[in-house]
Amino acid sequence: MLFPQQNEHRSLADLGGFWHFLPDPQDHGETRSWFAAPLPDDAMLIAVPGAWNEQLAERGVMNFVGRGWYETTFSLSRLDPREKRTFLRIGAANHSAKVWLNGTRVGEHSGGYLPFDIDISEGLLSGVPNRLTICVDSRLSMETLPQGIDPDAPPYNGPGFDRRHVYPPTRFDFFPYGGLIRPVHIITVGSMHIRALTIRGTLNGATHVEAEWSGEDGASGILEILDARRRSVIKVGPVLSSEGRFTWSLQIPSPRRWCPADPYLYEAVVTLLDSSGNPCDSYTEQFGYRELRVEGGKILLNGKPLYLTGFGKHEDVPILGQGQFRPACLRDFELMRWVGANSFRTSHYPYDEEVLRLADRMGFLVIDEVPAVSLGFTSDRFEDLAPLLATHKRTLKELILRDRNHPSVIAWSAANEPNLWSEPHSQSEAARRYFREVYKHVRILDADRPVIAIVTPTFSESDVSLEACDIIGINRYFAWYTDPTELEKARRRLDREMDEIFAKHGKPIIITECGVDTVEGYHATVPQMFTEEYQTEFLRMYSDVAETKPFCAGLHVWNFADFLTPQNFRRVVLNRKGVFTRSREPKSAAFFLRSYWCALTRVDNDHRPKRHSDAALIADIKPARQ
């Protein structure tokens, strides 16, 4: 799906602003036809984009999981649907949406965190405002991603956590925000228009571009590649299309390669010509020349081994919840750069498209994840898993089609901790087949990027999800959830376990999570959980073990910042494993990581982000003492 773009052939209206909103806890909005007329008078105001929970907390929706009705109006100048097509593009509706325009149902989508568009050309009114009604449903089930709670499953009584004691009930450890969390746009294009673009640039300058278009027959297309200063590098075409698509395979001389230290981006400009040869659409996409390979225990970016430094993150900021807000997004990148991170994982769902675009521009490497978090299987018969597998494949497809042109994306994460609950079916033959199918599907959609499987210690090296993946991600909390404060014991266990996993699978391992809850301002001179010193010592130990393993391709701290969770006795409002607080103040561990990552010899210059200043640790934020 193309990112919204304004140019001479495309016009864009951002519908962001204050809409009307009505929660529907009784679930009767649809039977009472709330879409047929303006929402009832008790509708409140809501900011779009934004999750409904925190902005309207006192109206009873903080923990509301269910349907919420959104409504706005917009006007467009008169358009002839034979010449123009108008699309409604919703950046993400968590977790499913039904859409009406002027009272008529125009489309729906299931699955949050990913964009979808609906052709609304036919139902548009001109001269009077159009009324747009969107019913967003934040409920989850065992066949959605993320999954909800299986009401029939036996409760899990693992260490300190029974999922029936979580409010709102979730299978995962982050707040279940609902609503229109990302921008909503109206996009108007010509009846002949570009629908999709795939771009691949390799180190020797081989460039493959494929464009799909819609409209009458007889279109042709022109491709121009521009460098970062918008100077033309090559221009080819017009070529005639075959079966609704154009393909160009060309060679540019010695391209400047994309890497974290020099995130150099080119632009591909595709122009669509109608049967008379007149330009009728164009679309510009940024891309980079870079190459990724997995060999034995190494991930190679442009031929050089990668060592990831960085974080598992969440999209979670006070008030906004998961809502998109550009200054908050940029702030996170600035802090990651300051601390010396070169990468992050979009745990545990696809992030806003602007995040990926910034990662390309600022030189961050991204592990891109679908919302298959704490995946659980309700049966050990493969046939019974079909509905979940279909959702999983569709979600992966939507993610990959959305993000495949980003040079920053280095791996697809197909699931996080599929075995978390030790459910009886998680290691069955059906589960093994399920993962094979999932990974095969990813490779068909994108043969150029590796698939990472991310697991807990429950089944360690024998976990069925590890067999067919390319990279192994391990989430480890030794010296926190198990053997608290025993850092030496944890070091030995981590060291042994990493060797065992590598011996069995021979694939690069990334420590994709390790961390401890830490309350800013708590201190101790001896190992004491929740103190800032314990977080630092814990991260130092994990970092030291990771660094000594040649097959370890990096470490991601859990988490970049504290984040809101559902209520349960394990969390005091937030998961506090952040190296930054929820409002982004650094804890002591941030300073430790900054110096550790800066001195890390395993991070080659090409794979290090450029910093504002590599001067003294805190000199640039604290005035020198007089």
C-alpha separations of 181 from 46, 83, 115, 347, 414 in Å: 11, 32, 11, 16, 22
- Assess 558 for contact with ligand GCB (CB under 6 A): yes
Backbone angles phi, psi at 126, to 5 degrees: -120, 150
From the CB of 373, what's the least distance to ligand GCB, in Å? 6
Backbone angles phi, psi at 571, to 5 degrees: -125, 135
Instruction: Report residue 103 CA to chain centroid gap.
Output: 33
User: Of 285, 513, 533, 537, which is the active-site residue?
Assistant: 513
Catalytic site includes residue 513: yes
Q: What is the 3-state secondary structure (H, E, C) of 192-250?
A: CEEEEEEEEECCCCEEEEEEEEECCCCCEEEEEEECCCCCEEEEEEEEECECCEEEEEE
Site of tokens 């200043």: 613
Return the ∠ at Cα 372 (arms to 369 and 374), rounded to 5°.
Answer: 120
- Assess 313 for contact with ligand GCB (CB under 6 A): no
Q: Which of 373, 389, 14 is nearest to 188 (CA)?
A: 14
From the CB of 341, what's the least distance to ligand GCB, in Å? 18
- Assess 575 for contact with ligand GCB (CB under 6 A): yes
State which of residues 285, 513, 532, 562 lies at the interface with ligand GCB (CB under 6 A): 513
Catalytic site includes residue 547: no
Binders of ligand GCB in range 336-395 (CB under 6 A): 348
Binding string to ligand GCB for residues 267 to 306, with x set by CB under 6 A, is what?
Answer: ----------------------------------------
- Whichever of 247 and 568 has its CB closer to ligand GCB, that residue is 568
- Whichever of 89 and 582 has its CB closer to ligand GCB, that residue is 582
- Assess 562 for contact with ligand GCB (CB under 6 A): no
Binding string to ligand GCB for residues 465 to 494, with x set by CB under 6 A, is what?
Answer: ----------x-------------------
Sign of the four-CA dihedral 610, 400, 371, 383: negative
- Whichever of 160 and 296 has its CB closer to ligand GCB, that residue is 160
Q: Which residue is nearest to ligand GCB (CB)?
A: 173
Residues with Cβ within 8 Å of 60's Cβ and at least 6 positions away in sequence, in order, are: 23
- Whichever of 71 and 316 has its CB closer to ligand GCB, that residue is 316
Q: Which of 372, 332, 365 is nearest to 554 (CA)?
A: 365
Other Cβ atoms closer than 10 A to 239? 15
From the CB of 571, what's the least distance to ligand GCB, in Å? 9
- Whichever of 469 and 603 has its CB closer to ligand GCB, that residue is 469
Binding string to ligand GCB for residues 410 to 449, with x set by CB under 6 A, is what?
Answer: ------xx--------------------------------
DSSP SS3 for 84? strand
Binding string to ligand GCB for residues 517 to 556, with x set by CB under 6 A, is what?
Answer: ----------------------------------------
Backbone angles phi, psi at 158, to 5 degrees: -70, -175
User: Of 369, 417, 497, 532, which is the active-site residue?
Assistant: 417
C-beta of residue 181 within 8 angstroms of C-beta of residue 50? yes
Spatial separation of the C-alpha atoms in residues 163 and 172, rounded to whole Å: 9
Binders of ligand GCB in range 153-182 (CB under 6 A): 172-173
**Mind telling me the catalytic residues?**
417, 513
Interface positions with ligand GCB (CB under 6 A): 172-173, 348, 416-417, 456, 475, 513, 558, 575, 577
